[in-house]
Structure 1
Amino acid sequence: MTATRLFLVRHGQTASNVAQTLGASHDDPLNPTGEAQARALAGWLAGLALPAPRVYASAFRRARQTAQAIAHALDVPVTVLDGLHEIEVGPAWLGRPYAHLLTHAHELELPGGAFGFAGGETLEGVAARFLAALEQPLALPGTPIVVSHGGALAAALAHLLSADIREIWRDRRYTHPNTAVTELQRNGQRWQVVRLADTPHLETKHSRAGLS
C-alpha cells in the first residue's frame, strides 16, 4: 500500500527571509518568529490526528528545526532526505533581493531552453531531484509530511500538478509563506489539491515572496 495523502511544508522564518535576500546558508537557523511558527504548525498538524504520520526534512538546518517541532508534537522521528533542499542559485544570484526573481525573471531563461539559475540549478532539475526523494515517502503507507523550501516546493508542485514552470513562476501561485502547508490527495495517477500554501495555524499571513 502506498501513501495517497501528502503534506508539503515550507520551513519557519529565518533572518534571510526577513532581509528578503537569496542564497541563505545551509545552516541558517530559525529566528524566534520561525520557532513560534513551527510550534503553531506542529500543534495544528497534531490536531488533525493523521493516520501513521511520517516526517521528512531537507538537510538544511531551518527545515530540520521545523520538522523536529512537528515530529515532537506527533511523537515520531524525523528522516532527513537528500534532494529536498532549496534551489542552488549560483554566485550570480547570491545575495540579491527576492524582488529580482520577478523583475529580472528574464535572466532565468538559459541557453538551450532551460529555466533556472546560471551557475546554479534549473527548475526542472530541482523538480527531478525533489520527486526522486519523494519516492521513498510515497512508497509506504501512512501520511508523509515533507518539510522543504520555497523555491524547491514551487518546482516540485509544478511537476506534480502538471503546471508550466514559467507560468507558475510569473503568477506565484505555488509560493509558500513560512510554514505554509500544501495538502495533496492522490486520485489514481494524479494529484489533486486539498489546500494550497495555506497557513491555518497562523493568525496573520506572512510574505509570500522569495526562496530559501
Structure 2
Amino acid sequence: MKQLYLIRHCSAEGQEAEASLTKEGRNQAVQLANTLGFVPFDKLYSSPFRRATQSIEPLALALDKPITIDDRLSERKLTAEPIDNWLEELEKTFNDPSYKLGGGESSEEAACRGLEVLEEAIQHTKEVALLMTHGNLLTLLLRHFESSLGFDTWKSLTNPDIYCLTFKDDCYESMKHINLERQGL
C-alpha cells in the first residue's frame, strides 16, 4: 500500500508565482506541519510557486526531509492575459477538457503534466509521499481518479486542503478528503 497526500497550499496574498503566504497562511503552514508531522513521508514534492513552498517548509523542517521542487506541480495557466470572465472560462475548461484560451493550458494538458509527477511519486516512494500544489491542478488530478469531481469541487476547496489517495500495487484504490476544520486548522 502506498499513499499520496495531495495538498492545496495555504492562504496567499495573490495568484502570482512570487505571491507569499498571508499571516494566516503562515499560521496554517505551521498547523499543517503539526497535523501531518506524524505521517511517515518518504518524499515531499512542491510546486515552485512561493505560496506552495512556504506551505510545505514547516513540515519539511519538522521531518528533516528535503523538498523536491517540480515545475509540473505549478498552477494551471488559464490564459496569457487577465480576463474579466475568468470564472466562466474556467468552468468551460472543466466541461470540455480540450478547451483552452490563448496562451493557456487546457485541462487535459495541465492534468497530463500533473499526472506525470503523481505517477513518478508512486514509483519512487516506499510508503507515503506529499505533493503540494494549487487548487486548479489539484482538482484536475483528483478528477482523473474520481470523474464526478470538477468545477464545483474546485469552488469548494479551502486553503489549505488535503486529499489522501491510496494505491495498492501502484493501482488507485481510494480517496479520502481530510477535513481540516476537524483537525484544528
Shorter-chain TM-score tier:
0.7 to 0.9
Provide the TM-score with structure 1 as the length reference. 0.75
Query: In 2, distance between residues paired with 1:72 and 1:109?
Result: 36
Query: In 1, distance between residues paired with 2:168 and 2:23?
Result: 39
Residue 75 of structure 2 is matched in structure 1 by 86
Instruction: Quote the sequence identity (%).
Output: 25
SS at match of 1:43: helix
Query: In 2, distance between residues paired with 1:146 and 1:106?
Result: 24
Amino acid in structure 2 at the alignment position of 1:192? S
Residue 168 of structure 1 is matched in structure 2 by 150
Say which of 105, 109, 113 aligns to 1:129: 113
SS at match of 1:124: helix
Residue 63 of structure 2 is matched in structure 1 by 74
CA contact (8 A) 2:8 2:132 kept: yes
CA contact (8 A) 1:57 1:67 kept: yes
CA contact (8 A) 1:6 1:183 kept: yes
CA contact (8 A) 2:136 2:154 kept: no
Provide the TM-score with structure 2 as the length reference. 0.85
Say which of 40, 47, 50 aligns to 1:51: 40
How many residues were matched structurally? 182
CA contact (8 A) 1:6 1:143 kept: yes
Residue 165 of structure 2 is matched in structure 1 by 184
Cα distance, 1:142 vs structure 2: 2.8
Amino acid in structure 2 at the alignment position of 1:6? L
Trace 1:23-42 onto structure 2 (pairs within 5 A). Answer: 24-42=15-33
Query: In 2, distance between residues paired with 1:10 and 1:109?
Result: 18
SS at match of 2:71: coil
Amino acid in structure 2 at the alignment position of 1:8? L
1:155 and 2:146 aligned? no
Residue 54 of structure 2 is matched in structure 1 by 65
Query: In 2, distance between residues paired with 1:105 and 1:180?
Result: 20
Write the deviation string for residues 99-144 of structure 1: whole angstroms up to 9, x where unpaired. x52x45565489x971344430111111100011223321121310
Return closer, same or farther for 1:85/1:34 CA change in 2, 3 Å cut-off: same
The unaligned stretches of length 5 or more in structure 2 are none
Query: In 2, distance between residues paired with 1:66 and 1:105?
Result: 25
Amino acid in structure 1 at the alignment position of 2:3? R
Please, which moves more after superposition, 128-137 or 34-43? Answer: 128-137
CA contact (8 A) 1:174 1:197 kept: no
CA contact (8 A) 1:26 1:61 kept: yes
SS at match of 2:24: helix
Amino acid in structure 2 at the alignment position of 1:11? H
- RMSD of the alignment, in Å? 2.7
Cα distance, 1:196 vs structure 2: 1.6
The unaligned stretches of length 5 or more in structure 1 are 17-23, 204-212
CA contact (8 A) 2:8 2:162 kept: yes
Return closer, same or farther for 1:13/1:59 CA change in 2, 3 Å cut-off: same
